[in-house]
Amino acid sequence: MDKFIINGGRQLRGTVNISGAKNAAVAILPAVLLSGGVCVIENVPQIKDVTIDLKILAHLGADIRLLNKSAVRIDARRIRNVPIPYELARHIRASYYFLGALLAKFNHAKVSMPGGCDLGDRPIDQHIKCFKSLGAESVIEHGMVEISASSLVGTQVYFDKVTVGATINAMLASVKAQGLTILENAAKEPHIVDLANFLNSMGADIMGAGTDVIKIRGVKSMCETNYTIIPDQIEAGTYMVAAAATKGDVIIKGIIPKHLEPISSKLRKVGAQVVESDECVRVIGATEYERTNIKTMPHPGFPTDMQPQFAALLVLAKGTSILTEGIFDNRFRYVEELRRMGADISVDGKVAVIEGVERLTGAQVKAADLRAGAALMIAGLSASGTTQVEEIRHIERGYEDMDLKLKALGADIVKRKFPDVEVMARVG
Ligand code: EPU
């Protein structure tokens, strides 16, 4: 149980480099097994979710070598179709992408039900609907999902709701199916486009990714590729909000400004300055912030993955802000913790009402999930006094070296191992 200890109240200043996108990486890595050869993937973020994905690939027989901090060479020539057990799959949501990838490669997959952040009910009915529509049968027994088909045949699928996960799994499963698959009401997130570009670089024939209709013409075989993952727009957004909350001045580098539009636009609305250039964005904080309302929606709407971080800024804005969560049932698990720091927030179902306060004060708080953890980090940076953020394993699932990047921007932050071996030694 490691923790971050932050002495708040310092303005963040300087430049931060953004790592590769978590949610693109966790879709692209399982897809590598379709190559049947050797792929080099660059701009891979060094985060726990990626480590788990690589462990699953190794479990399936891939030979994995790290070429440098962010490049990995994956030899998928000896991939076997073996079940992916609970111990591996339970750590991450994206373990379910191995269902689509293995189904496409072997017409069969057996993977434990996925884990990931606890954000309320997260069914996988739309994934199963697509697999079935392609001609597969599915059984869920003893915590394992098993999908098999004698052959996969192109189909038309209308998703009942916009889902990133099912859109990705449908693309993976149909990439080698006979004929044409049409996905309607598909998700349009940047990582959907990145996965399509990656699959196309391996010889797939996918059109329309980034719109709500994706057409996939099945191909007989796929090949090796070298590919660079897009930057993480949520990591970038998190540093943008951290810069604003600490009234700092930060250049966020290595990003695609277009992916950040909903975040930049809300930051401007509350009073921060956001200056975009080719591959960076500069955020200059204001002395005080205006209230605003936010409703999270599928891309290009405001991303749910930035909702908790914005709450950490709006708790210090003038007046009443309303946050409406439009994607998940329970994404306010940070509220109780922000209250411990002096925030005034009430929650009714999927709506949080924030009454701005003058200041936050440091406290001992716990990250309930990845973005809840990011919100507490931002709150800790702007609060007066010391904040201890516990359960940082959630944060480390999705943010590469967050403590080091913040330190380089001038934050007073340390990562403390728990139990603290030095203190234990002194106590005897
Ligand atoms: N849903 C269904 N049935 C399904 C699939 C989804 O009802 O078969 C519902 C979900 O319960 C949810 C909504 O549809 O209410 C959207 O779910 P979606 O499938 O879009 O989300 P996901 O694939 O579970 C991914 C990201 C999340 C991100 C969401 C939305 C990964 C590994 N996870 O989750 O990332 O919040 O899309 O953009 O890509 C995070 O990074 O912190 C994170 C939680």
Which residue has the CA at smallest separation from atom 29 of ligand 1?
A: 164
The whole-model pTM stands at: 0.96
Answer yes or no: is the C-beta of 400 below 6 A from any ligand 1 atom: no
Separation of CA 124 and ligand 1 centre (Å): 10
Answer yes or no: is the C-beta of 266 below 6 A from any ligand 1 atom: no
User: Cis peptide leading into 300, omega within 30 of 0?
Assistant: yes
Q: Strand pairing partners for 226?
A: 40
- At residue 422, the pLDDT reads 59
Give the tokens for residue 398.
């999705």
Q: From the centroid of its chain, how far is CA 194?
A: 14
DSSP for 164-211? HHHHHHHHHHHTTSBSEEEEES----HHHHHHHHHHHHTT-EEE-BTB
- At residue 424, the pLDDT reads 56
Answer yes or no: is the C-beta of 92 below 6 A from any ligand 1 atom: no
Ligand 1 atom nearest to 164, measured from its CA: 20
Answer yes or no: is the C-beta of 328 below 6 A from any ligand 1 atom: yes
Separation of CA 208 and ligand 1 centre (Å): 20
Instruction: Please confirm, yes or no, whether 117 is among the known catalytic residues.
Output: yes
What's the start-to-end Cα distance of the chain, in Å? 20
Contact 64, 73 (CB under 8 A): yes
CA–CA distance, 265 with 277 (Å, rounded to integer): 15
Which residue has the CA at smallest separation from atom 40 of ligand 1?
A: 305
- At residue 426, the pLDDT reads 57
Residue with tokens 């999270």: 296
**What's the length of the chain?**
428
Separation of CA 237 and ligand 1 centre (Å): 18
- At residue 428, the pLDDT reads 46
Give the tokens for residue 339.
């209250």
Separation of CA 296 and ligand 1 centre (Å): 12
Ligand 1 atom nearest to 369, measured from its CA: 42
Per the residue annotation, which of 39, 117, 130, 280 is the catalytic one?
A: 117
Which residue has the CA at smallest separation from atom 17 of ligand 1?
A: 163
Answer yes or no: is the C-beta of 407 below 6 A from any ligand 1 atom: no
The stretches in the chain having pLDDT less than 50 are: 428
Which residue has the CA at smallest separation from atom 10 of ligand 1?
A: 122
